[in-house]
Every structure is written in structure tokens, then in C-alpha cells.
């Protein structure tokens, strides 16, 4: 497996990552998903990506269960936040409330103390960007998130 630096950071990730969208906890049963993750790990993949919304949290549970047998320092784990996780008016977006609640829920489902990368899954036109960034900065200071990213944001 070949590894590359992640952007301008000092960490290295496998050139191939293993994502989990529309699969684990939905189409792919847990035992098969864990086998896929094990095989990926065995060939040197160290970058695993998921999101809170995938199968409404079930995917994170499966990924967490599969990775718990490996040393935490041996892989890079990413998850995301934005999409609705319930029917409430605050169960979506990038408000401090939603991001705060969802990171803690994700950590619990993943059985982790921290995630390596926390992505804002989409841009939130209803929440001031500084509100979101201050919330994530708090997580960085607390060590619950090591790096931050965005997913499917335009450059403008």
C-alpha cells in the first residue's frame, strides 16, 4: 500500500480509503461489513470514512465494532455532520447544538474518544460559519477532533 500526506498535515493516509456510504447497516450486513473492513486493514488501508447519517448511525456502529480490535494509532477515522438525524427542527445543519450533539453521538457509536477528521458534510446557509467553526475549534482544543474538513463545498 502506498501512503500520502493528508493535505498540508503531518499524517499519512493510504492512497485508497474505505468509505461506507449506502452500505454498512443498510445493504451490507454487519458480519460482511466487518470482513470487508478487516480485509482492507490487512492490505494496508488505514483511512476509514463514515458519517453519522449513513443508515442513521448504524454504519458508525459497525465501523466502530470492526475497528475496535486494531490499535487506535494504526488507522485514521473520519466522520461527518450536517444531514438530519431526527425530526426535530434542530436535528440538522451545522448549528452549535447539532454539531455538538452529533459529535458526541458519533463518538459513542464509533466507541472512540476522538475522531481523526471531522467533516462538515454540506454547507449550511442557515448557520453563521463562525458559529460552526467555534464549535469545532472547541473540539480541537478538547482533543475530540484532530483535523477538520469539508465535504462537497464549493470554492466560492
DSSP assignment of 30-90 equals HHHHHHHHHHHHHTT--EEE--TTGGGGHHHHHHHHHHTTS-GGG-EEEEEE-S-SSSSTT
The answer to whether 99 touches 82, Cβ cutoff 8 Å, is: no
Residue closest to 19 by CA, chosen among 57, 55, 49 = 49
54, 75, 118, 119: which is the annotated catalytic residue? 54
Q: Is 147 a catalytic residue?
A: no
The catalytic residues are: 54
Amino acid at each position: 500500500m502506498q501512503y500520502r500526506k493528508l493535505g498540508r498535515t503531518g499524517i499519512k493516509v493510504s492512497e485508497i480509503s474505505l468509505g461506507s456510504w449506502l452500505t454498512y447497516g443498510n445493504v451490507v450486513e454487519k458480519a460482511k461489513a466487518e470482513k470487508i473492513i478487516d480485509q482492507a486493514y490487512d492490505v494496508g488501508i488505514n483511512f476509514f470514512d463514515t458519517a453519522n447519517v449513513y443508515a442513521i448511525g448504524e454504519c458508525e456502529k459497525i465501523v466502530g465494532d470492526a475497528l475496535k480490535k486494531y490499535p487506535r494509532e494504526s488507522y485514521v477515522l473520519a466522520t461527518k455532520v450536517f444531514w438530519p438525524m431526527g425530526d426535530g427542527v434542530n436535528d440538522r445543519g451545522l448549528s452549535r447544538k447539532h454539531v455538538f450533539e452529533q459529535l458526541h453521538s458519533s463518538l459513542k457509536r464509533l466507541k472512540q474518544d476522538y475522531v481523526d477528521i471531522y467533516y462538515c458534510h454540506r454547507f449550511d446557509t442557515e448557520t453563521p460559519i463562525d458559529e460552526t467553526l467555534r464549535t469545532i475549534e472547541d473540539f480541537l482544543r478538547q482533543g475530540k477532533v484532530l483535523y477538520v474538513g469539508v465535504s462537497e463545498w464549493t470554492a466560492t
